Structures are given as structure tokens and as C-alpha cells.
């Protein structure tokens, strides 16, 4: 029996994708082998990789003026790759601090260049996106970095900034969850393991004119121009994760694309936030306007009740609802592959738990 999996990542994958992978596990399209066993230079793999990229471009409406790269190392390695590719060592970059993932990106970038934190919501315990009116942008920044969705805190930009320098966004936990205008961005990056596939793959979309000036000591596999030149195959790419991401992209197209998936995601999130808003028992630590559609964080009146909630939910097949260890409480990650039925089952349990313990 499959469970309703609210994991923040690696996270639930569409069942149809897993079934397709199962069907093709031993024999991919008559090749007599699994994709896992195939050379990344084989025609079959090169074709499926190109098809996955083409489907991703189609979903995200990415034009020819951007490279789409399929890399390794997670979003974490991009925290170094971005300054290495986009700046010289003494240059200034702007970062907005909206929580744990922004902070990590800032810390890493500081090793390579001079980071100006333009705004932070740390003082209010990361309960909001700092009001854009108060941002202290540098006049010489090479780019502005944001994390579009803070997976741990559960806060998300509803309105994206429009700076005069290239906008760089960590979209690990909300890529492909809603339509965006890629032309607003210089670069976006995301680990695959929330909305795209299994762990091991990192997708980078970078405007072509920003490539080609990487520092001389940039590792080969992190150099965007080099990787773009060889279709992300300067070394062995994460072939199976790439294949699975391709299946997810096809599945998304079958769902009707990003506008359709956004409607589903909004409905799921509203179902949960409605319960929280109408309850004296549950509460959200995040200001209403910035609440994430992907990671719904909430608490009950005390830490022991939170613990009981997570344990009892788990016992009935609603798993991975524990909040991140740094913040406690509960977190329901409701990425694209989590069905409305999972959210409905969670809401039913929330009502029961409140009636019993409230």
C-alpha cells in the first residue's frame, strides 16, 4: 500500500511515472537494457536526454537565448558555481535573506565575492518576504539572488522582484509548480528531488550572454559555458535521474502544463490553509500573503501535541509531516505529485485530532 507522502524532499513522485519506469526497468524501448545500464553516449540516451530538455523548455517556455543544463551536485553546489561563473573575486553581489536556504547560499557566495544582504526577515523569525520598498540594493551588484520558496520556513515569493541586474533564483522547491516568465531571470537553479524527479540531478537555466566569463579556476564540471557546449556531458551525467525527470516532464504536459498544475496546487494549499485559518488549535507561523503553496508549515498549541500529531498521522499512512528539526512543528510538503486526495485525508485527520485533543 502506497502512503500519502508529505516529504520535503526527496519527495513523492507521480505514480504514473513510477509505473512507466517500472515497465521500462529491464528493457528500455527494445534496447534489452535498463536506462541505468546505458552509455550516456548511446543514441538512445542522447535522444531521451534531448527530448527531456525539449519538454522542459516547452513547459517553462524557455527561449533559445537560455541554456538548460542537467548537472550534478545539488542546489548546494550552485551556491559556489554561480559566483564562480558570474563574478570576479572582488565583485559585489546582492542577496535577499528569507530563511535557512538563503543563508546557506549567502555563506557560500561570501567565499568567492562580496555579499551585500539587501534585506532579511530574520528579526521576525522569517515569517515573511521582506517588503521590497526597504531593500538596500547595491549600485554595482553583478546579480540579485533570491530563494523563491523557502522549503523549511514555508514562505514563498508571490510577486517576483524585477531588478536592473540579472535575477538569480534558487527554485529548488517550487520549480514547475506555476508558470513563470523566464525572461525575468538571468539564472534559475533547482535540485530535482522535490518537483522534478529523484535526487542526483540539478537543473540550471542560464541566459547565454551570462556564460563564458567564468573564473579561470572554476572546476570544469561547474563551468556553464563548457557544460552547454557538450550538452551537459563534460563528464558522465546522472543518466537515470535525467530519464526520470523526463518522464515527470511528460507527465506534467499530460496534466495540461504549468497553468493547470498551478490551479491544482493552489486548490491543495487553500484546502490546508482554510483549516488552519478557521481553527483556534492550529496556526501558521507565516504571514498570510507569503505562505508557500508548496510547503505548508503549521503548529498545534504545544510541542508535545505536535509530536503526537506527527506520530498519529504516520500511523494512518500520512507520513513525513514533521517540521524541519530547526523549526519544529509540522510541515506538509504538497508538491506537484501529491494528489488532492492526500490533502483531503490530511484535513480529515486534522479535524479529528483537533476534536480529540483541542
Ligand X SMILES: Cc1ncc(COP(=O)(O)O)c(C=O)c1O
232 binds ligand X (CB under 6 A): no
Write out the binding residues for ligand X, residues 191-230 only, by CB under 6 A: 191
Judged by CB under 6 A, does residue 170 bind ligand X?
yes
Binding-site member from 5, 87, 172, 239 for ligand X (CB under 6 A): 172
Considering only residues 27 through 86, tell me which ones interact with ligand X, judged by CB under 6 A: 74-76
Please, which residue, 55 or 172, has the CB nearer to ligand X?
172
Distance, CA of 75 to CA of 172 (rounded, Å): 7
What are the respective helix, strand and coil percentages of the chain, to the nearest 5? 40, 15, 45
Q: Which is nearer to ligand X, 71 or 350 (CB)?
A: 71
> Which residue lies nearest ligand X, judged by its C-beta?
74
Query: Three-state SS for 96?
Result: strand
Total of residues contacting ligand X (CB under 6 A) = 11
SS3 30: coil
**CB-count exposure of residue 51 (10 Å: 0-12, 13-18, 19+):** middle
Q: How far is the CB of 63 from ligand X (least distance, A)?
A: 25
151 forms part of the interface with ligand X (CB under 6 A) = yes
Min dist CB 150 to ligand X, Å, is 6
Reply yes or no on whether 142 is catalytic.
no
By the 8 A CB rule, do 336 and 196 touch? Answer: no
Question: Catalytic residue at 101?
Answer: yes
Cβ at position 215, least distance to ligand X in Å: 21
What cell does 158 get? 508571490
Residue pair 218/85 in contact (Cβ under 8 Å)? The answer is yes
Please give the C-alpha separations between residue 80 and each of 73, 107, 200, 222, 268, in angstroms, as whole numbers.
11, 10, 17, 9, 35
The residues in 78-137 that bind ligand X, with binding defined as CB under 6 A, are 101
Give the binding site for ligand X (CB under 6 A): 9, 74-76, 101, 147, 151, 170, 172-173, 191
Residues that are catalytic: 101, 170, 194
Amino acid at each position: 500500500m502506497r502512503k500519502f507522502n508529505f516529504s520535503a524532499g526527496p519527495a513523492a513522485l507521480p505514480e504514473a511515472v513510477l509505473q512507466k519506469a517500472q515497465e521500462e526497468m529491464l528493457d528500455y524501448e527494445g534496447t534489452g537494457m535498463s536506462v541505468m545500464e546505458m552509455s550516456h553516449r548511446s543514441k538512445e540516451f542522447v535522444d531521451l536526454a534531448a527530448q527531456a530538455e525539449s519538454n522542459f523548455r516547452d513547459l517553462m517556455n524557455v527561449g533559445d537565448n537560455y541554456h538548460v543544463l542537467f548537472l550534478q551536485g545539488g542546489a548546494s553546489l550552485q551556491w559556489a558555481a554561480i559566483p564562480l561563473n558570474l563574478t570576479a573575486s572582488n565583485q559585489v553581489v546582492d542577496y535577499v535573506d528569507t530563511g535557512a536556504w538563503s543563508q546557506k547560499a549567502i555563506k557560500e557566495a561570501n567565499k568567492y565575492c562580496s555579499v551585500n544582504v539587501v534585506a532579511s526577515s530574520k528579526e521576525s523569525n522569517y515569517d515573511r518576504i521582506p517588503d521590497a520598498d526597504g531593500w538596500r540594493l547595491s549600485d554595482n551588484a553583478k546579480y540579485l539572488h533570491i530563494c523563491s520558496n523557502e522549503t523549511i520556513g514555508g514562505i514563498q515569493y508571490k510577486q517576483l522582484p524585477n531588478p536592473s541586474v540579472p535575477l538569480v533564483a534558487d527554485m529548488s522547491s517550487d520549480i514547475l509548480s506555476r508558470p513563470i516568465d523566464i525572461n525575468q531571470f538571468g539564472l534559475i537553479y533547482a535540485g530535482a528531488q522535490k518537483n522534478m524527479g529523484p535526487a542526483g540531478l540539478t537543473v540550471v537555466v542560464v541566459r547565454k550572454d551570462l556564460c563564458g566569463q567564468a573564473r579561470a579556476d572554476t572546476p570544469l564540471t561547474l563551468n556553464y559555458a563548457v557544460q552547454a557546449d557538450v550538452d551537459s556531458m563534460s563528464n558522465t551525467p546522472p543518466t537515470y535521474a535525467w530519464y526520470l525527470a523526463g518522464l515527470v516532464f511528460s507527465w506534467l504536459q499530460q496534466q495540461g502544463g504549468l497553468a493547470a498544475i498551478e490551479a491544482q496546487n493552489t486548490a491543495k494549499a487553500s484546502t490546508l490553509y482554510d483549516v488552519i485559518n478557521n481553527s483556534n488549535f492550529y496556526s501558521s507561523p507565516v504571514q498570510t500573503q507569503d505562505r508557500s503553496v508548496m510547503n505548508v508549515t503549521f503548529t498545534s498549541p504545544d510541542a508535545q501535541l505536535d509530536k503526537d500529531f506527527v506520530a498519529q498521522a504516520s500511523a494512518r499512512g500520512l507520513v513525513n509531516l514533521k517540521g524541519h528539526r530547526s523549526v519544529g512543528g509540522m510541515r506538509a510538503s504538497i508538491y506537484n505529485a501529491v494528489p488532492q486526495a492526500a490533502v483531503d485525508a490530511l484535513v480529515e485527520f486534522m479535524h479529528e485530532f483537533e476534536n480529540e485533543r483541542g
